[in-house]
Structure 1
Amino acid sequence: MQLLQPILLWGLLGISIPFLIHLWRGRKGKVMSWAAMHWLPTQESSVAKGIRLENILVLLLRILMLVILVLLLSKLFVPKHNKVSEERIVHLVQPSGQITEEYKFELQQALEKGEEVYWADETLTPIESIEDLLFEYMTLNLQAALNKLPSEATDLNLYLSNSENTFGSSFFLSNIKPNLYLGSADITTPKPQTVSLGGEKTLVVNEQGLLDSLPKGQQAEGERVFEKERFGYLLNEVSSSERTFIQAALDAINDVYGFEFEEMQQLEEAKLIFDSKLPAERKSDKLYFVSDNYSYSEQSNLLTFPDQLDFEESELVQTGKLPEVILEAFLSFSGIEQQDVKLSQSQFESRFIVGGRNTQEKKANLDLLLLGLLLLCFAAERYFANQQGI
């Protein structure tokens, strides 16, 4: 037996109220006059004190009513009356030959036990046998798969590649805390990538995946030229505090790398759109940053943030990572491939926001019974109280 609101047990102190009332009435006594009373001796005409035996039943009923009311407000929960459904284990597998090969034994064991195994794709395609581990026509869409999970699932196992390029900086919303099985990402050394800012400055993507100055004597290979019109941005419906921090982030990018972002007044002129609402019509040649929005998008030109981009709410602003996130999204949108790195278990776990339903949600399941007892006690208390004239 458990209480969902145990703090309300302090209401049991109210039991003392009817008890003290009965004690007070008993101490005070009650004068009962009758016709021949004046003929009695003085010692026999004294006032009777104390609680009569028949009043004890009314006292107990009133105390019981208070106890039932407190239990009703405290949400009494009895586990045996609210049995949790049987364990239901779900496995989500990234469509990848490397993952299926590395965890083939675990997946085969899951199928033999009758557990549910699905591809982490848009339609949550089931895997019914080990021969179904063919993925040529599958596309990874982890958030869509998480959204389609059965509501009765109690455990979730995810089989994913620990490649940052595969998942980028995305966060995922899951109703169940996942157990992660990370594959060994096959990360190869990419070709050098260089960026020319209108012919005035040339940068190179170094081994850490960061922009750096081109070393002396090194020639630019695979150079991508950025014209200045690509750096126009529009602050649409954002708060004044967000405006301050977004502009500060863009200024920081300019100071370090030389990207001269210019604020525009018209949507058509801007390439980077900062807004607090999802665009009604999304254009493929623009990059959208939407704050204070809990939706998740697989679109490469749309990046959403769960909080407002100000110091009070955004961890990115508080830690100074907002310029890095904006620049990373801008370079990826512009065709500059992000240097692939392996993600650790803790880094992957931090990408999942667990919320929504509770698979073992407890609800007070004795409310009707307690309410019936309360009404019954009230009726009995009124009956005996009227009978005794109290």
Structure 2
Amino acid sequence: MQFLQPILLWGLLGISIPILIHLWQGKKGQVIHWAAMHWLSEQESSVAKGVRLENFLVLLLRILMLILLVLLLSQLYFSSTNTIAEPRIFHLFQPDMQLAEEYKFELQQALENEEEVYWADENLTPIESLEDLEEGGKVFDLQAALDKISPDATSLNLYLSNSVNALKSDFYLSPLKPNLFLGSAELLKSGTQVISIDGVKALEIGENGLLDSISDALGEASVINLDKALFTYFLGEITDSERVFVQASLDAITEVYGFDFVEEESMEDATLIFTANPPKVDTLDKIYFVSDTFSFAERSNLISLSDQLDFEHSELVQSGKLPEVILERFLDFSGVEKKDVPLSRGQLENRFLVESERAQEKRGNLNLLLLGLFTVCFAAERFLANRQGI
């Protein structure tokens, strides 16, 4: 038995109210006039005082009504002691053969204990034996896998590589706090990438992962050609102050890196869309920056910004990081590979937002019974009180 709103139990202090009223009425007494009263002496005609025994039942009913009301508001929840729920332990593996081999022993132990083991893909594919590790073709989709976790889960173990490129989204919504198991494999070092616009080499991704000018000795470099059509943008349903700061951010990117962004008059002709309303049509050839909204299950080309993009509301604008965010998201959308760096356990833990406690989602399962008892007590109290004239 538990109370889902235990703070409301302080309402039990209200029991003292009917007791004090009852004692006060008994102390005050009641004058009863009758025909031969004037024949009595002054001592014999004193007012009768004290608590009458026939009023005790009314007092008890009023106290019981207050108790039932407090229990009803406190959401009394009773769980049967005869049925003890068995723990359900979930294991989610990132589809990575090297990671699975590294935690092969933990995987074998989980299978022997008949715990639930899955690939962290969009279908939550089960792993039934070690032979399943040899199967490939699984697409890593952590949020989709977390959404399919049973609400009865008591423990969640996540096996992830400590790679910033593997975790695309900034945050993940998890049904409960996960236990993280990070891979220790070395990150793959990608070769030099060169960004060209319409066949003209412009910038390269330096060793520090930042955009830099073209060097003389590139060696073996992968060239990523970006069409000029990618550098078109459209300012949709946003405020005038947002337009000023978005335009200023694009101008800053153009000044530093030489990217020439061109404003279009219609959304159909632009690639970068700045708006306050999420698009209804799921088109993957555009990237949407949606301000003043927030969403966990984002599409890869839908960037939700929780504040308006002006100086009064947005921390990105106040700190001057809005151009950096726009450029980073734009390059990721354009296919420019981000430099891979390891993530610490603390950085990963901060990316998981845990849902509200399950207990708060419960509803008192004795509400109907308490309401019925309250109705019966109220009817009995009114009947006795009217009968006794109190």
* Fold shared per TM-score above 0.5: yes
What's the CA shift for 1:197? 6.0
What's the CA shift for 1:46? 1.5
CA distance in 2, matches of 1:285, 1:375: 63
Contact 1:154 1:359 in 2 (8 A): no
Q: Which amino acid counterpart does residue 304 of structure 1 have in structure 2?
A: I
Contact 2:250 2:323 in 1 (8 A): yes
CA distance in 2, matches of 1:371, 1:241: 55
Q: Which amino acid counterpart does residue 352 of structure 2 have in structure 1?
A: F
Contact 2:233 2:271 in 1 (8 A): yes
Please name the residue that 1:147 is paired with. 147
What's the CA shift for 1:180? 1.5
CA distance in 2, matches of 1:307, 1:82: 47
Please name the residue that 2:254 is paired with. 254
Q: How much is the aligned-residue C-alpha RMSD, in angstroms?
A: 3.1
Which sits farther off after the overlay, 333-342 or 376-385? 376-385
CA distance in 2, matches of 1:202, 1:137: 36
Q: How does 1:1-390 map to 2 (within 5 A)?
A: 1-78=1-78, 85-196=85-196, 202-214=202-214, 217-218=216-217, 221-224=221-224, 226=226, 228-291=228-291, 292-294=293-295, 296-297=297-298, 299=300, 302-305=301-304, 307-310=306-309, 316-317=316-317, 320-355=320-355, 358=358, 361-390=361-390
What's the CA shift for 1:43? 1.2
Which sits farther off after the overlay, 374-383 or 355-364? 355-364
CA distance in 2, matches of 1:388, 1:361: 45
Contact 1:196 1:224 in 2 (8 A): yes
Contact 1:276 1:293 in 2 (8 A): no
Paired residue secondary structure (2:208)? coil
Distance 1:242 1:163, change over 3 A: same
Paired residue secondary structure (1:56)? helix
Which sits farther off after the overlay, 272-281 or 87-96? 272-281
Paired residue secondary structure (2:173)? strand
Contact 1:8 1:73 in 2 (8 A): yes
Distance 1:135 1:321, change over 3 A: farther
What's the CA shift for 1:129? 1.2
Distance 1:255 1:359, change over 3 A: farther
Paired residue secondary structure (2:325)? helix
What's the CA shift for 1:318? 5.7
Where in structure 2 are there 5+ consecutive unaligned residues? Answer: none
Q: Deviations over 1:82-115 (max 9, x none)?
A: 9773211111111111011001100110000000
Contact 1:275 1:288 in 2 (8 A): yes
What's the CA shift for 1:186? 3.1
Q: Which amino acid counterpart does residue 53 of structure 2 have in structure 1?
A: L
Contact 2:298 2:304 in 1 (8 A): no
CA distance in 2, matches of 1:122, 1:381: 60
Distance 1:358 1:273, change over 3 A: same
Q: Which amino acid counterpart does residue 43 of structure 1 have in structure 2?
A: Q
Contact 1:153 1:359 in 2 (8 A): no
Q: Which amino acid counterpart does residue 97 of structure 1 have in structure 2?
A: M
CA distance in 2, matches of 1:359, 1:381: 35
Q: Which amino acid counterpart does residue 376 of structure 2 have in structure 1?
A: L
CA distance in 1, matches of 2:265, 2:368: 62
Task: Report the identity percentage.
Answer: 59
Contact 2:180 2:345 in 1 (8 A): yes
Paired residue secondary structure (1:180)? strand
Paired residue secondary structure (2:340)? coil
What's the CA shift for 1:148? 1.8
Paired residue secondary structure (1:45)? coil
CA distance in 2, matches of 1:191, 1:72: 66
Paired residues in the alignment total 387
What's the CA shift for 1:218? 4.4
Q: Which amino acid counterpart does residue 124 of structure 1 have in structure 2?
A: L
Paired residue secondary structure (1:42)? coil
Contact 2:194 2:201 in 1 (8 A): no
Distance 1:298 1:38, change over 3 A: closer
CA distance in 2, matches of 1:147, 1:357: 16
Q: Which amino acid counterpart does residue 75 of structure 1 have in structure 2?
A: Q
Structure 2 length-normalised TM: 0.86
Distance 1:96 1:200, change over 3 A: closer
Q: Which amino acid counterpart does residue 296 of structure 1 have in structure 2?
A: A
Where in structure 1 are there 5+ consecutive unaligned residues? Answer: none
Paired residue secondary structure (1:167)? coil
What's the CA shift for 1:125? 1.3
Q: Deviations over 1:14-48 (max 9, x none)?
A: 33432333333223322212222222222111211
What's the CA shift for 1:169? 4.1
Paired residue secondary structure (1:273)? strand
Contact 2:89 2:116 in 1 (8 A): yes
Paired residue secondary structure (1:208)? coil
Contact 1:163 1:185 in 2 (8 A): no
What's the CA shift for 1:198? 7.5
Q: Which amino acid counterpart does residue 265 of structure 1 have in structure 2?
A: E
Distance 1:281 1:122, change over 3 A: same
Which sits farther off after the overlay, 104-113 or 252-261? 252-261
What's the CA shift for 1:244? 4.1
Q: Which amino acid counterpart does residue 303 of structure 1 have in structure 2?
A: L
Distance 1:23 1:182, change over 3 A: same
Distance 1:253 1:82, change over 3 A: farther
CA distance in 2, matches of 1:295, 1:236: 23
Which sits farther off after the overlay, 290-299 or 128-137? 290-299
Structure 1 length-normalised TM: 0.86
CA distance in 1, matches of 2:74, 2:25: 31
CA distance in 2, matches of 1:284, 1:242: 24
What's the CA shift for 1:81? 6.4
CA distance in 1, matches of 2:19, 2:244: 64
